[in-house]
Chains A and B, each alone.
Chain A
């Protein structure tokens, strides 16, 4: 299945949760399976990786799975790059002291790979 950039952008931009087109019953089943795997499968693949059954192509190069029972530690990886700014690595987001998400600081901290 190939998605044109424009088509994909439109699908995502105007329907945030729109699903990929299903071309035929057999293809639909395959696509639905892949979507289901994408929704819960990320968890399956991540879990598999933690048990060293790698499906590496689904991961970015520097990805390091957190260890079993290590999610809280992973989640609590928080830092402050400047006064009044709090960045959450797991969420990949920064918030300002006024309590709101900062697109500016999130971009500065994470958009270029941190």
Chain B
């Protein structure tokens, strides 16, 4: 029984460590994301970063996938919505903050383009599913 318990504990540990390093079967560029994120946290809130990640993804999908185009007006409004705030910042801090926004958006866009280009068929099929999901508001046409 003790051996079984230890075995289960070992399996659980393996499972946790496996998840922590990213699933083996995903198409996420783990090391690139890790390098890009390091020391760029803190300027933008998680909610803002998630919004920029989604916008970067939508842009990548529109560039890679036939039949999916950005609604540029909605996209611009969504960018503005993420960027709002920071009124208490100094001029210099506003520039730094805007740079963080551009860095996050550009870096995430490049990484999503790379992830999508590696598995374009399934990437675009998945994007089409997300586009068709009525519970998923998006900025595509």
Chain A residues within CB distance 8 Å of chain B = 1, 3, 5-6, 8-10, 12-14, 16-20, 30-31, 33-35, 37-39, 41-43, 45-47, 49, 57-60, 62-63, 65, 71, 75-78, 80, 86, 88-93, 95-104, 106-107, 109-114
Residue-wise, chain B 49-78 has the 8 Å CB interface mask toward A (1 for contact) of 111011001110000000000001001110
* Contacts beyond the supplied A3-B94, A18-B102, A75-B38: 12 A-B pairs with Cβ under 8 Å: A9-B80, A34-B92, A41-B96, A42-B103, A65-B42, A75-B34, A78-B19, A90-B34, A95-B23, A104-B133, A107-B54, A111-B47
Is the pair A111, B80 in contact by a Cβ cutoff of 8 Å? no
Is the pair A106, B50 in contact by a Cβ cutoff of 8 Å? yes
Q: Measured between alpha carbons, how far is A47 from B39 in the docked complex, in Å? A: 8
Is the pair A103, B47 in contact by a Cβ cutoff of 8 Å? no
Is the pair A92, B50 in contact by a Cβ cutoff of 8 Å? yes
B46's partner among A20, A37, A99, A113 (CB-CB below 8 A) is A113
Is the pair A58, B80 in contact by a Cβ cutoff of 8 Å? no
Q: Measured between alpha carbons, how far is A70 from B62 in the docked complex, in Å? A: 37
B123 contacts across to A, CB distance below 8 A = 100
B133 contacts across to A, CB distance below 8 A = 104
Chain B residues within CB distance 8 Å of chain A = 19-23, 25-28, 33-34, 37-51, 53-54, 57-59, 72, 75-77, 79-80, 83-84, 88-103, 105-106, 109, 112, 115, 119, 122-123, 126-127, 130, 133, 135-138
Is the pair B83, A9 in contact by a Cβ cutoff of 8 Å? yes
Is the pair B19, A100 in contact by a Cβ cutoff of 8 Å? no
B135 contacts across to A, CB distance below 8 A = 104
Is the pair A42, B39 in contact by a Cβ cutoff of 8 Å? yes
Is the pair A92, B39 in contact by a Cβ cutoff of 8 Å? no
Known: A99-B27, A106-B53, A111-B47. A60 touches B42 (CB 8 A): yes
